[in-house]
Amino acid sequence: MSSESGTEELGRIRTRIPARLDRLPWSRFHWMVVIGLGTVWILDGLEVTLVGSIGSRLTEPGSGLALGASQIGTAAAIYVAGAVLGALFFGQLTDRFGRKKLFLITLAVYITATIATAFSFSAWYFYLCRFFTGAGIGGEYSAINSAIDELIPARVRGRVDLIINGSYWLGAAAAALGSIVLLDTALFAADVGWRLAFGLGATFGVAILIVRRHVPESPRWLFIHGREKEADRIVSDIEREVERETGRQSLEEPEEIIEVEQRKTISLGEVASTAFRKYPKRTALGLALFVGQAFLYNAITFDLGTLLGTFYGVASGTVPIFIAVYALSNFAGPLVLGRLFDTVGRKPMIVLTYGIAAAGGLALGLLFTQDGFDKYWFMALLVTIFFFASAGASSAYLTVSEIFPMETRALAIAFFYAVGTGLGGIVGPLLFGHLIETGDRSTMAIGFYLGAGIMLIGALAELIFGVKAEKQPLEQIARPLTATSDQVEAESGPKRELPRRRRTGRFRPGPGTLVMARGYPLTAGDEVEAAVEVEALVAILAEQGEMSREELARKAGARQWGPGRFGYVLAQAVAGGRVVRSGRRVSLPSG
């Protein structure tokens, strides 16, 4: 029976594959996953921001389309509608046929539709192209987020997910800055520059497709669907690659085993029953988080160009500068705050970020009607709000991809994205488009108040229904539907519960020594979590003397510790007086 062809007989199996994936040190393989899969968010950022940046141009005579402000909002809503339906359609296919098949197909749909958009000649054609572009992106969300969570180690899943989701804003910034050049009528005609912008998005999509071909199918999906031999081969290949990369001895075999009853397909009825009957509170949580972030984000992002032009007289060629600043603040939020979702915890950080966004939205509505509140004050408050809101919005995707069983993960992401974005993401741009068209500041402020209220509901839902998921294996957060027990067992011992804070393999400097250390601390006071790594740094400095920060990281093999880990451990060592930093140099304390 060939596992490659997917024709293995189904049965009950016992496997260590989830534990083997979670205990892997960070490696080039994980970077490939991040680059090959996570960059979908950059594409979405390009798409959404392109329309926001060129929105004012498309309303001008000579653009080749001459849309109205409300039509820009309509195009945004149609894009979101396409994403909603695409997520639902491709989401159920992703759970049925696998992550890899679908994340290649959905990217191809996006590329084709984006190229077609560049040739738009009328409003109806532009709407049609935006619909299919959105469908490709919506399908990407379910296929990509499920694959990433199933391939990234549990100890860093939160920060990696948030940074990947936050990379949306790198695409947004690139689109905004690129639009400055492309909208310059001294360089490109008014009906040419915006078309080239969409062509560049498609070119970037092709580059991602090349990298993505090398990302494997999710081993977790494979072993549940009767292809455990293929899953084992993929994980073994990853382990050998990590061993070659680090030059260390074999990785320690984890003890945890999960037993599952394999199935080819799982009915939509069972998926719905799982969400609404078994996890009703988690379902309410997912909906609240998604509706809140989708309304606020889609409304502001799609309509920011026309809002600045209408109320502050910002020229269409200057709008991209404001959007680039807005986008970079949004990326900074997950980048700076992401680690806290793994250390402080999911629940307090989601409540905090959604709550600050709600308070900021209220302040924005109150100040927007004041005469002295000019475009610079408006942007200053906006970027502050979305520094926090961006981390919160990213955590919505992280939450729904973690808190439901593996067999339903892609469809769960698709469902919450579809319903949440359908309610918030379509209504938001349409409403804001019409509010902007009135030209009345008091009327426009109503939109900000509404966005603040919906974000507050998200914060309250997290406070009441939030799930403690930081550092925990996916199988611990939500037992797979195919699992035969709530427990896993060690190879030569009695059954036991999955540990809440499993230790993960970490390499220590020296010839072939493998030591065990936990992942990132749960709180700032958990210095003991980094004790092994601190001792390793001290040992290197004692043996080889003062060196640069970069050299110390290299000698310690910190690249395998995970994103941001070395900086945290070094800071712990300095705070504890174990090492001394002088600029970029590190040494032991004198005397």
Contacts with 550 (C-beta within 8 Å, 6 or more apart), sequence order: 584
**pLDDT over 60 (residue 1):** no
What percentage of residues in the chain have a pLDDT greater than 90? 8
From 51, 74, 69, 49, select the one nearest 59 (Cα to Cα).
Answer: 69
pLDDT score of 115: 87
pLDDT tens per residue across span 385-441: 999 998 888 888 888 888 888 777 777 777 887 787 777 767 887 788 888 888 888
Q: Token digits for 306? A: 């026309």
What single string gives the DSSP state of each residue in 14-82?
A: EE-HHHHHHTPPP-HHHHHHHHHHHTHHHHHHHHHHHHHHHHHHHTSTTSSS---HHHHHHHHHHHHHH
pLDDT score of 52: 62
Residue 265's pLDDT band (cuts 50, 70, 90): low
In this structure, of 187-196, 241-250, 266-275, the range with the lowest mean pLDDT score is 266-275
**pLDDT over 80 (residue 513):** no
pLDDT score of 535: 83
Average pLDDT, the chain: 78
Residue 505's pLDDT band (cuts 50, 70, 90): very low
* Of 516 and 452, more confident: 452
HEC secondary structure over 280-312: HHHHHHHHHHHHHHHHHHHHHHHHHHHHHHHHH
Q: Token digits for 123? A: 């409003």
pLDDT tens per residue across span 522-552: 333 344 456 778 888 888 888 888 888 888 8
pLDDT score of 497: 38
pTM over 0.75: no
Residue 591's pLDDT band (cuts 50, 70, 90): low
Q: Which of 69-73, 224-228, 327-331 is most confident?
A: 327-331
Mean pLDDT throughout 210-221?
81
Q: Is the dihedral of CA 92, 469, 243, 555 positive or negative?
A: positive
Residue 210's pLDDT band (cuts 50, 70, 90): confident
8, 46, 236, 362 from 1: Cα distances, Å: 5, 45, 20, 62
Q: Token digits for 532? A: 């092994």
pLDDT score of 530: 67
**pLDDT over 50 (residue 499):** no
Contacts with 489 (C-beta within 8 Å, 6 or more apart), sequence order: 256, 257, 259, 495, 496
pLDDT score of 91: 78
